[in-house]
Amino acid sequence: MSSLTKLQALKCYSYSYWIIEIPIKRFFFFPTTLKRLTLAGEFCFHWKYISTLVMLPNHEELKLKGHAVVGQAWRLSDEEQFQSLKQLLSNELDFRMWEASSDSFPNLKRLALKNCRYLKEISTDFAEICTLESIELHDCSSPAEHSARKIKNEQEEMGNNSVNVYIHRTRKIEFY
């Protein structure tokens, strides 16, 4: 795959359940031209390996769906920065904790979380991301919804009235 030097978008799906114990960078050799990446299905990568995607210099959109990633906590260190990432979508992931700062996603414009029923909160540090335009929550936990509203309020206090928060509920979600 590393020889695909003009590849800009890639969707990877797995329909068989297997837990990847090797780093994602050894499993996939993504070209540096890649802008949009979707990992979906039963890959079961651990969160610590997803953070290695920060090495993609042109990476603007990341979609993580189904059981593409497993583990209860996604912890990003100060050195792990998705410099170019503008859109982050998480769909049906079971993580509870997400430890990240505004430095982790300095250019993020859109955050969409769908069916993240166990997520306790979105870091209030996201209020410091000056490029943030929208947070979308679809069937997420009440605490995640509360933190999204808090981020919007903090952005407004800093004079940024362009952050929109969309909360969609098709059923009552009260998982913690």
Q: Domains, the chain, ranges and CATH? A: 9-168 (3.80.10)
Write phi, then psi, for 140 (nearest 5 degrees): -105, 175
**C-beta separation of 140 from 110 below 8 A:** no
Structure tokens at 151: 């981020």
What is the per-residue pLDDT across 61-116, written as a single tens digit (0 to 9) for each? 999 998 888 889 999 988 899 999 999 999 998 899 999 999 999 999 999 999 99
Q: Is the whole-model pTM more than 0.85?
A: yes
Mean pLDDT, to the nearest integer, of 8-36? 74
Structure tokens at 27: 């499993």
> With pLDDT > 90 as the criterion, what percentage of the chain qualifies?
60
Higher-confidence position of 112 and 53: 112
Token look-up 């329909």 returns 15
